[in-house]
Chains A and B, each alone.
Chain A
Amino acid sequence: MVAARLPSTGFLRARARRRGALSAALVVYALLLALALGLGSAHWATHGEYPFGVVRAGPWSVWPRAGSRDADPYTRAVIARSGDIPLGVGEGLLLHATVDSDGRPLDARCSYRIGPSTPQARFWTLTVYDAAGRPAGAQDRRNSFTSSEILRDAAGGFEILAAHEPRSGNWLMLPDSGRVSFVLRLYDTPASAGSAALDPRAVPGIHRLECAP
């Protein structure tokens, strides 16, 4: 009897030790999983564009709540990580385009026609940015237009030609290559009160003309 019990207690003790090691490993595994998934997903959700609250108007994306008191926590985190200072509601509205009116990504090797009208605003500016979010080109290049500088046609409409090579009229210079984006800022606009004013017909279209091979 005794001889038969001894190996069985040894077996039980070894099993308990194994179980302890197993549960410790599982706790470490659960904690590591929590850290990796939690921090990784938080990082992923708070870099780049604001993840929530986007309103699309033609090729343009607008985040009407980014500059308001009730911006969601993800928007606040994106603002904090990028160091951005968003335009406040009542100050203006920012429209960002990374695609043309047909949904194709904006490419510096192509040329684009932008116009003919914008939503109502006291002033607006249209700027072309490179892939890193800097105004495209050097300081003396034409990378932006304001509503006061633009040449208009007889009906009051305008046409901005964005291309790498010079064009007559309102020419906006694109960089040599790479992705570009356009930002239209409406300063002091009634459109910021509600995005119902952001009708796809009221915002300027971005039409691709031709592309260099």
Chain B
Amino acid sequence: MSRAAYFLLATLCGLMLAGMTHLSAVLAIPWLAENDAFARLRSTLSADRSELVAAPGDQSTWLPYPDPNVAVATCAYSLDEGPVRVSARTGPLFQSLSFHARGGGVYFAITDRAAVRGVLEVVVMTRRQLDEALAAEDPEDPSRDVRIVSPTREGLVVIRVLAAFHSQRPEATEAARSVACTIDREE
């Protein structure tokens, strides 16, 4: 083979490897990112209350394109120690909860319209924890919990509260940061 043919072969190999590198880099980014929302909030994993990420009108938040009318708070969760019970008290302000799997993807979202007697309560669990809960349950008296299955063991619960008027901003901040996210231990 001539030198040019070797060079062409090496270029083709390089291009094929480049394609593989590209795909693996794109797939790995959500897991290696150090600035994504989960990595930034990892330190709040053990907190029982939601952590405020952006108060309405907060200019110093790390959140890109923040809505100045919305208070955003999050609970980072890890399901290793058991299901996580998220309980939010709804008020006069628009409020929504969204559930983000680590590595991307919103797998569930709910707004205050779904609240029962002013409380939005959701239990996040793995598929295995759901199966165990169903097996342990009394078929005559099933649980009334809203149970959702998280596709990953770790993730974020994001609370958004909208201040429709400027004067409602403190109230929205308070509502966003007062959501309870506790580990549901078995009795």
Contacts and interface: CB of A to CB of B under 8 A. Distances in A.
B96 A85 contact: no
Contacts of B26: 42, 45-46, 73-74, 77
Interface residues of A, number: 63
Interface stretch (A103-111, A137-145, A205-213): A137-145
Main SS class of interface, A:
mixed
B96 A187 contact: yes
A73 B65 CA distance: 21
B22 A85 contact: no
Given A68-B105, A69-B151, A81 B18 contact: no
B15 A37 contact: yes
B126 interface: no
Interface stretch (A9-17, A122-130, A196-204): A122-130
Contact of B37 (A30, A32, A83, A90): A83
B13 interface: yes
Interface band, chain B: 35 or more
A188 B35 contact: no
Q: Looking at chain B's contact residues, is the secondary structure mostly helix, strand, loop, or mixed? A: mixed
Interface stretch (B43-51, B56-64, B82-90, B134-142): B56-64
Contacts of B111: 90-91, 122, 187-188
A76 B160 contact: no
B14 A31 contact: yes
A23 B6 contact: yes
B107 to A, nearest CB: 5
Given A133-B64, A134-B59, A30 B104 contact: no
B25 interface: yes
Contacts of B124: none
Given A38-B20, A138-B59, A149-B165, A88 B11 contact: no
Given A91-B160, A135-B68, A31 B17 contact: yes
Interface of A: 22-23, 26-27, 29-39, 41-42, 45-46, 67-71, 73-77, 79-92, 122-123, 125, 127, 129, 133-135, 138-139, 143-144, 146-149, 183, 185, 187-188
Given A31-B14, A80-B30, A125-B162, 9 more contacts: A33-B18, A37-B21, A42-B29, A45-B26, A69-B151, A83-B64, A84-B63, A91-B160, A148-B165
Q: Which 9 A-B pairs give the minimum distances between C-beta atoms?
A: A38-B21, A76-B104, A33-B14, A34-B17, A88-B109, A88-B98, A37-B18, A88-B106, A42-B25
